[in-house]
């Protein structure tokens, strides 16, 4: 019989956090042992917030993440930006493996978490996207870039998303750059009639961000070549698509010995 993994959820009062609580509680080999949040939800039962029966696990302030030492194996972190990374750092310092789904953090906070995991000899995961389809899209984009040097990324999200481009789009651009090497030379001297009309550039790859009500999370990668265009697209319509990837990470992060970026590191 598999050993039970003790799980804490940070951001437990948010939409994604509540979904993770429900998913963890539905697994026989996982046990919810703690929940954390900002002012909203603190003091309330995490199960009730998630639409379940009371679990006897009250949402605590984020500042209490360090109290997890000896009580949890994994912290699933779905807060925002550098705040999420600060919580993950507290978890690592308490000997708890972080599984982070936040975007919008700085490179400095990521490196601080990487150093902490190395110091405490812990595995950890930071994933810009937990949807398995999105992870495969990124992997396929890296492969396609070996044959199609001309590529642009278009990401589309709901109008409540704060960071642009998305973490998934940035990671996709990095993988495209890794797959193709140096970007191809420009064919003309471009002139933008409106600043930003051609999007931003990350690792030599143009990235375009769309924010509209009605969207959830979508990304298309366009590759152009002589006489042909290759389009790779992923559409996420609800938080349910992220849960299989989160559960995969919770179960497999214990097999890591360092912090890695990208769920693809846990795929066979």
The secondary structure of 221-255 as a DSSP string is EEEEETTEEEEEEEEE-SGGGGHHHHHHHHHHGGG
Q: For residue 72, how many C-alpha atoms fall within 13 Å in the half-sphere facing its CB?
A: 29
Of residues 102 and 114, the one with the higher pLDDT is 114
Give me the percent of the chain exceeding a pLDDT of 90. 82
Length of the chain: 268
Q: What is the pLDDT of residue 35?
A: 96
Residue 61 to residue 66: CA distance in whole angstroms: 11
Looking at the fold, whether 122 and 12 belong to one and the same domain comes out as yes
Looking at the fold, whether 166 and 63 belong to one and the same domain comes out as no
Residue 72 to residue 81: CA distance in whole angstroms: 23
* 237-262 pLDDT per residue, tens: 988 999 999 999 999 999 999 999 98
- Our CA dihedral for 122, 123, 127, 131, rounded to 10 degrees, sits at -140
Give the tokens for residue 138. Answer: 């990124």
Expressed as residue numbers, the domain containing 178 is: 132-236
Q: Which of 157, 202, 218, 234 is catalytic?
A: 157
How many C-beta atoms lie closer than 10 Å to residue 38's C-beta? 17
Q: What is the pLDDT of residue 236?
A: 94
How many C-beta atoms lie closer than 10 Å to residue 97's C-beta? 25
Give catalytic status of residue 157 as yes or no: yes
* pLDDT of 196 over the 50 cut: yes
Looking at the fold, whether 216 and 249 belong to one and the same domain comes out as no
| CATH code where residue 53 lies | 3.40.50.720
Q: Which of 119, 158, 161, 234 is catalytic?
A: 161
Looking at the fold, whether 82 and 9 belong to one and the same domain comes out as yes
Q: What is the pLDDT of residue 1?
A: 39
Looking at the fold, whether 9 and 88 belong to one and the same domain comes out as yes
The secondary structure of 201-219 as a DSSP string is EETTEEEEEEE-TT--EEE
Instruction: Give, as one character, the DSSP assignment of residue 130.
Output: -
Looking at the fold, whether 48 and 169 belong to one and the same domain comes out as no
* 1-12 pLDDT per residue, tens: 368 999 999 999
Looking at the fold, whether 152 and 230 belong to one and the same domain comes out as yes
Q: How confident is the model at residue 24 (pLDDT cuts 50, 70, 90)?
A: very high
Looking at the fold, whether 104 and 147 belong to one and the same domain comes out as no
**Does residue 177 sit in helix, strand or coil?**
helix
**Does residue 97 sit in helix, strand or coil?**
strand
Looking at the fold, whether 56 and 146 belong to one and the same domain comes out as no
Residue 252 to residue 256: CA distance in whole angstroms: 7
Q: What's the total number of domains in the chain?
A: 2
Looking at the fold, whether 223 and 245 belong to one and the same domain comes out as no
The reported pTM is: 0.84
Q: How confident is the model at residue 221 (pLDDT cuts 50, 70, 90)?
A: very high
| CATH code where residue 185 lies | 3.30.360.10
* pLDDT of 211 over the 90 cut: yes
Residues sharing a CB contact under 8 Å with residue 204, sequence separation 6 or more, in sequence order: 173, 177, 182, 183
Give the tokens for residue 165. Answer: 């481009």
Looking at the fold, whether 10 and 109 belong to one and the same domain comes out as yes
Q: How confident is the model at residue 86 (pLDDT cuts 50, 70, 90)?
A: very high
Range with the lowest mean pLDDT among 1-5, 67-71, 88-92, 227-231?
1-5
Give catalytic status of residue 62 as yes or no: no
Q: What is the pLDDT of residue 53?
A: 94
Mean confidence (pLDDT) of the chain: 93
Looking at the fold, whether 207 and 248 belong to one and the same domain comes out as no
């Amino acid at each position: 019989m598999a050993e039970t993994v003790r799980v804490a959820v940070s951001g437990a009062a948010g939409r994604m956090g509540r979904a993770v609580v429900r998913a963890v509680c539905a697994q026989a080999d996982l046990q919810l042992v703690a929940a954390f949040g900002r002012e909203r939800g603190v003091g309330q039962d995490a199960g009730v917030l998630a639409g379940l029966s009371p679990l006897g696990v009250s949402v605590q302030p984020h500042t209490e993440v360090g109290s997890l030492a000896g009580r949890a194996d994994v912290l699933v972190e779905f807060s925002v930006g550098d705040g999420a990374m600060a919580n993950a750092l507290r978890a690592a310092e308490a000997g708890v493996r972080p599984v982070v789904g936040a975007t919008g953090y700085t490179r400095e906070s990521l490196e601080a978490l990487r150093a902490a995991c190395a110091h405490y000899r812990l595995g950890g995961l930071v994933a810009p996207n937990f949807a398995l389809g999105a992870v495969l899209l990124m992997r396929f984009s890296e492969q396609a870039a070996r044959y199609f040097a001309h590529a642009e990324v278009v990401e589309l999200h709901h109008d409540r998303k704060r960071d642009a481009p998305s973490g998934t789009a940035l990671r996709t651009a990095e993988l495209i750059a890794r797959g193709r090497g140096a970007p191809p030379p420009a064919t003309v001297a471009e002139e933008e009639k409106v600043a930003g009309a051609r999007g931003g550039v990350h690792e030599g790859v143009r990235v375009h961000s769309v924010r509209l009500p009605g969207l959830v999370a979508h990304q298309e990668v366009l590759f152009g070549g002589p006489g042909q265009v290759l389009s790779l697209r992923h559409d996420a319509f609800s938080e349910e698509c992220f849960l299989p990837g989160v559960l995969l990470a919770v179960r497999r992060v214990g097999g890591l010995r360092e912090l890695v970026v990208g769920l693809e590191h846990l795929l066979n």
